[in-house]
């Protein structure tokens, strides 16, 4: 506080027409202080979005709340972009560079859970819940954006800051449509984060992912009196599943293929005339995944041919593997180390100990690790997928994780939902907000940071790279969660 007060006094003593700049240390202190001063407000926003628990493309309340907060902070908000009602772009400032902060806010089906409870207690049975912490992700990005906006205005720095409100990250590929609409084409760098069970900023990659619903159409008939007159769509689904399961032996071992049968018929005594399977396929390299996906589609075609049915396919999502940027990750890692982790209260410690007992296997992460920052690791490939990856192949992009889950708690679990609605999740969110804000200010303050990030981006992407997506010109699958 004393250092900030001295800096303000010195600024007041500058003659009219002169200029003074706070030091980088003072900038950082002011940013952190500004976020801390509003942490109660941000916790309330995150808690509200946690309570809304809206799934992909249905996040009307969550999107509206974030837009309202950004407008109140002085951002100009453009809503309903890229043919997505809940997508938006909020802008402040002018000129170059243009730096984007990305926020998400969709929940997951079936993960409703009471906040802070170490026992399985859904708020509403089978209802959605924030088991991936996107209530924190969107709000933490909001906190960072507002802090950077305040810094831009007080410092007089040129540049444009944007907050991208991106729906349906969980399987809906919302950012892909926003990329396709050209919303990122003039952006110089992108900053984001994701909830997790540790504090880290690694230049890691992810799995590319293609998903689709395969719909088979047959002929209904009495299953006992006239089965020969029927053509079972369920038989086609099962035939496809069998062929794809045999395919698993003949794909690279890093490949992941998973599915559910979403429709299997109306009653056992009726030959099903409609059945549907929902497939995901993942691989660390989109070029390899493209070939594997073609084989999955051929299995569906063969199943239809062999069962006398017809098949149509709706591609739901398609995302690349993340293109890491080591320079930007190093910058963010240093800022995360400045911010540091956080400690638990006695109540939080007791909750953490109890919820770890509910995990299927003893966790390798140790309690207390949320107080530290993990050493920077390079070259790793995570097992998840994200539509932020498509952004990373179009703009230099950096992301980090913060310990919003109890160490050892996996994402997409009721245990994660219990954390993201409680104080542990809120503390991790603030760590991320501060680290993102500091990183974004670094990008505005020193042009060399963006230049070096772009040079690495071009080298990694390759001169001959042309971005394309299997989503092609299809409209967003706004009803994929219905």
Pairing of strands 310-319, 194-196: unpaired
CB 216 within 8 A of CB 275: yes
Q: Could you give the CA distance from residue 127 to residue 54 in angstroms, rounded to a whole number? A: 9
Which run of H or E residues covers position 379? none
Which run of H or E residues covers position 448? helix 447-461
- Which fold would CATH assign to domain 208-319? Alpha-Beta Plaits (3.30.70)
Answer left, alpha or beta for residue 412, where phi above 0 means left and psi between -120 and 50 means alpha.
left
Residue intervals of the chain classified under CATH 3.40.630.10 are 19-205+322-461
Q: At what angle do helices 447-461 and 423-445 cross, to 10 degrees?
A: 100
- pLDDT of the residue at 244: 98
The alpha carbons of the chain give a radius of gyration, in whole angstroms, of 24
CB 65 within 8 A of CB 48: yes
| Contacts of the segment 239-244: beta carbons below 8 A, 24+ positions apart | 239/302, 239/303, 239/306, 239/307, 240/214, 240/216, 240/277, 240/299, 240/300, 240/302, 240/303, 241/277, 243/299, 243/302, 243/303, 244/279, 244/296, 244/299
- pLDDT of the residue at 22: 58
Distance of CA 147 to the CA centre of its chain: 21
CB 365 within 8 A of CB 355: no
Instruction: Choose among 62, 28, 98: nearest CA to 436.
Output: 28
Q: Could you give the CA distance from residue 32 to residue 30 in angstroms, rounded to a whole number? A: 6
The model scores a pTM over 0.75: yes
Answer left, alpha or beta for residue 283, where phi above 0 means left and psi between -120 and 50 means alpha.
beta
- pLDDT of the residue at 251: 97
Q: Could you give the CA distance from residue 303 to residue 412 in angstroms, rounded to a whole number? A: 32
* Paired tokens of 32: 């952190």
CB 8 within 8 A of CB 20: no
**DSSP three-state, residue 158:** coil
- pLDDT of the residue at 423: 98
Q: Could you give the CA distance from residue 340 to residue 330 in angstroms, rounded to a whole number? A: 15
Q: Could you give the CA distance from residue 42 to residue 422 in angstroms, rounded to a whole number? A: 13
- Sequence-distant (≥ 6) Cβ neighbours of residue 35 within 8 angstroms: 42, 143, 144, 147, 430, 433, 434, 437
- pLDDT of the residue at 27: 82
Q: Could you give the CA distance from residue 108 to residue 111 in angstroms, rounded to a whole number? A: 6
* Paired tokens of 363: 């966790």
Report percent pLDDT > 70 for the chain: 95
Question: What's 19-205+322-461's CATH class?
Answer: alpha beta
Q: Could you give the CA distance from residue 344 to residue 275 in angstroms, rounded to a whole number? A: 49
Residue intervals of the chain classified under CATH 3.30.70.360 are 208-319
- Sequence-distant (≥ 6) Cβ neighbours of residue 232 within 8 angstroms: 218, 271, 272, 275, 307, 309
pLDDT along the chain (482 residues), means of 10: 38 38 77 96 98 98 98 98 98 97 98 97 97 98 98 94 98 96 98 98 96 97 97 98 97 96 97 98 96 98 98 94 97 97 97 96 92 93 93 98 97 98 98 98 97 98 93 90 88
**Distances 312 to 234, 243, 283, 309, 358 between C-alpha atoms, Å:** 14, 17, 24, 10, 42
Q: Could you give the CA distance from residue 166 to residue 56 in angstroms, rounded to a whole number? A: 10
- pLDDT of the residue at 6: 35
Which run of H or E residues covers position 472? none
**Distances 440 to 31, 159, 175, 328, 368 between C-alpha atoms, Å:** 11, 11, 20, 10, 28
pLDDT digits (tens, 9 = 90+) for 342-384: 999 999 999 999 999 999 999 988 999 999 999 999 989 988 9
* Paired tokens of 462: 């390759």
Q: Could you give the CA distance from residue 309 to residue 306 in angstroms, rounded to a whole number? A: 8
Place of tokens 């056992």: 268
**Distances 209 to 110, 152, 169, 280, 386 between C-alpha atoms, Å:** 22, 37, 12, 7, 8
DSSP states of 99-111: EEEEEE---BTT-
Classify residue 132 by its DSSP letter.
Answer: T
Number of H helices, E strands in the chain: 14, 12
Answer left, alpha or beta for residue 322, where phi above 0 means left and psi between -120 and 50 means alpha.
beta
Q: Could you give the CA distance from residue 410 to residue 424 in angstroms, rounded to a whole number? A: 15
């Amino acid at each position: 506080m004393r250092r900030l007060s001295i800096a303000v006094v010195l600024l007041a003593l500058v003659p009219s027409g002169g200029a003074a700049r706070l030091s980088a240390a003072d900038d950082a202190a002011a940013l952190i202080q500004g976020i801390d001063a509003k942490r109660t407000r941000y916790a309330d926003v995150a808690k509200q979005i946690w309570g809304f628990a809206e799934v992909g493309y249905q996040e009307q309340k969550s999107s509206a709340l974030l837009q309202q907060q950004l407008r109140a902070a002085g951002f100009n908000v453009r809503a309903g972009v890229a043919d997505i009602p809940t997508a938006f772009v909020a802008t402040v400032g002018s000129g170059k560079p243009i730096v984007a902060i990305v926020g998400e806010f969709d929940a997951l089906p079936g993960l409703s859970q009471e906040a802070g409870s170490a026992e399985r207690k859904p708020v509403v049975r089978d209802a959605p819940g924030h088991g991936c912490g996107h209530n924190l992700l969107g709000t933490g990005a909001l906190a960072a954006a507002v802090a950077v906006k305040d810094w831009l205005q007080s410092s007089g720095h040129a540049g444009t800051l944007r907050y991208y409100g991106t729906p349906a990250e969980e399987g809906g590929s919302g950012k892909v449509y926003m990329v396709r609409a050209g919303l990122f084409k003039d952006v110089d760098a992108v900053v984001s984060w994701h909830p997790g069970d540790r504090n880290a900023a690694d230049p890691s990659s992810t799995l590319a992912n293609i998903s689709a619903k395969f719909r088979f159409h047959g002929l209904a008939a009495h299953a006992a009196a006239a089965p020969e007159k029927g053509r079972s769509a369920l038989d086609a689904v099962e035939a496809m599943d069998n062929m794809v399961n045999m395919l698993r032996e003949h794909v690279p071992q890093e490949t992941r293929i998973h599915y559910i049968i979403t429709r299997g018929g109306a009653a056992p005594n009726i030959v099903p005339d409609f059945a549907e399977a929902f497939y995901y396929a993942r691989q660390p390299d989109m070029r390899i995944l493209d070939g594997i996906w073609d084989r999955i589609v051929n299995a569906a075609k063969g199943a239809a041919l062999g069962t006398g049915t017809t098949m149509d396919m709706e591609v739901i999502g398609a995302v690349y593997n993340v293109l890491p940027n080591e320079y930007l990750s190093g910058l963010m890692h240093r800022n995360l180390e400045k911010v540091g982790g956080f400690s638990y209260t006695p109540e939080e410690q007791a909750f953490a100990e109890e919820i770890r007992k509910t995990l299927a296997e003893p966790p390798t992460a140790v309690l207390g690790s949320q107080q530290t920052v993990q050493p920077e690791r390079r070259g790793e490939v995570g097992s998840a997928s994200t539509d932020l990856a498509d952004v990373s192949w179009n703009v230099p992009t950096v992301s980090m994780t913060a310990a919003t889950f109890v160490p050892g708690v996996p994402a997409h679990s009721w245990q994660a939902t219990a954390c993201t609605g409680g104080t542990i999740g809120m503390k991790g969110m603030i760590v991320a907000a501060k680290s993102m804000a500091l990183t974004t200010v670094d990008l505005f303050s020193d042009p060399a940071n963006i230049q070096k990030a772009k040079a690495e981006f071009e080298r990694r992407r390759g001169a001959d790279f042309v971005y394309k997506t299997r989503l092609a010109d299809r409209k967003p699958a706004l009803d994929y969660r219905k």
